Amino acid sequence: MKRCHASCIAAHAIHSHLKVTGQKAPPNLTRPMPKTFRVFLITSLAMIAFAANSVLGRLALIEGEIGAGSFALIRLISGAVVLGLLVFAQSSRPTGSWLGGLALLIYAAFFSYAYLALPAGTGAVILFAVVQMTMLGWGIAKGERPWALQWIGLILSLSALVWLVSPGIAAPSILGAAAMAIAGIGWGAYSLLGKAAGDPATATAGNFIRASMMAVILAIPVLMLHPEPSPSANGAILAIISGAITSGLGYAIWYTTLKDLTATRAGVAQLTVPAIAATGGVLFLHEPITLRFALASTAILGGVALAVLTPAPASRKANP
C-alpha cells in the first residue's frame, strides 16, 4: 500500500463526510498545494529556523540564563535525540563519522562562546561568510580555478569582513568575531564532509550523536577550568529549542526540500539567513542596526553571492 501524506488523509476525510451528507465538494477544496509554493514554504521555514539559532543563543546567553558550554551541550544532545528519533522512525540507522562529529562540535562550541559578545546579526554574517569562504578555499586548494567574478566576490566579502571587525566605535568584539570565525570554519568543514556522506539525514543524526558524546566527555574538564552557574529553566528551554527544533527539525525540513532546489536557489535561500537573524535581533533583543554593520553586511553578502552563485563548470581545473 502506498504511503499517504497528511494532505491526502485530510482529503479522504472530507470526501467521506461529503458523501455521507450528500454535499458536493467545492472545486478547489481538495486541490493539492502547488509544488513551487510548497518548496518555497518549507525553504522559508528552514531559513527562519537557522536564523533563529542565532537569536536563541544570544537571548539565552546575554541574560545569563545559561553558560556557553552548557548551552552547546544541551543543544547538541537535544538535536541528537530529535534527529535520532526521526531516523529510527523511518526504519533507518544513523551514519556519519567521528570527523563529522568533531567538526559539528567545533561549530556548536565556538558558536555559543561567540554569542557571549556578538549581536545576533553580526554573528550570523560572520558565520555565513566564513562558511562560504572555507568551502571556496577548499575548492581552490583542490585545484578548482574560480572565474574572475568569483575572485572579485571573494575579495570583496573578505575585505568587508575585515572592515566589519576592525577596531572602531561600532566594531564588534574581536574575540567574539574570532570565535565565530572558528565556528564558521567548523561548519564549513562539516558541510564539505557532508557532500560525501550519502544520505544527509542519517549522516546528520549520526554526527549529532557523536558530537554529543564528545561534548559530554569534554564538558567535565572544560567546566572545571571555566565554571558556569547552573542553567536556569529558561536557559535550558532555549537551548533545547535551539537543538531540538531550530537545529534538529530545521535540518530535517531543509533536507526534504533540498532535492527540489537547484544549487543556485539553495545558495540564494541561505543568503537570507543573516538578514533574518539581524531582523530577529532587532525585534526580540532590541539590537541596533549600525551604518557600519549595514554597509559591511551588504558588501559581505553581495561578495558571497558573486562567489557562490557564479556558474563554474566542473571541468575548469587548475593545471597540475
- Predicted confidence (pLDDT) per residue in 276-312, tens digit: 999 999 999 999 888 889 999 999 988 888 887 776 5
**What does the pLDDT look like over 10-33, one tens digit per residue?**
445 445 544 555 555 455 444 556
The single-letter DSSP state of residue 247 is I
Which cell goes with 129? 561568510
Overall average pLDDT of the 136-148 stretch = 83
pLDDT at site 198: 73
Is pLDDT larger for residue 55 or for residue 195? 55
The pLDDT tens digits of the residues spanning 181-201 come to 999 999 999 988 877 767 888
Calculate what percentage of the chain has a pLDDT beyond 70: 85
Question: What pLDDT is stored for residue 263 in this prediction?
Answer: 67
Q: What is the pLDDT of residue 317?
A: 44
Closest by Cα among 162, 100, 126, 156 to 308: 156
The single-letter code of the amino acid at 67 is G
Beta bridge partners of 144: 317
pTM of the model as a whole: 0.81
Comparing CA positions, the residue from 272, 200, 267, 208 lying closest to residue 78 is 208
Residue 98's pLDDT band, with cuts at 50, 70 and 90, is: very high
Q: pLDDT tens for residues 219-273?
A: 989 888 889 989 999 999 999 999 999 999 998 888 878 778 776 677 778 888 9
Question: What pLDDT is stored for residue 178 in this prediction?
Answer: 95
Asked if residue 48 has pLDDT above 90, the reply is: yes
Measure Cα distances from 293 to 88, 128, 157, 170 in Å.
43, 14, 13, 8
Instruction: Provide the mean pLDDT of the chain.
Output: 84
End-to-end CA distance of the chain: 54
Question: Alpha-carbon Rg of the chain, whole angstroms?
Answer: 22
Give pLDDT, residue 211. 97
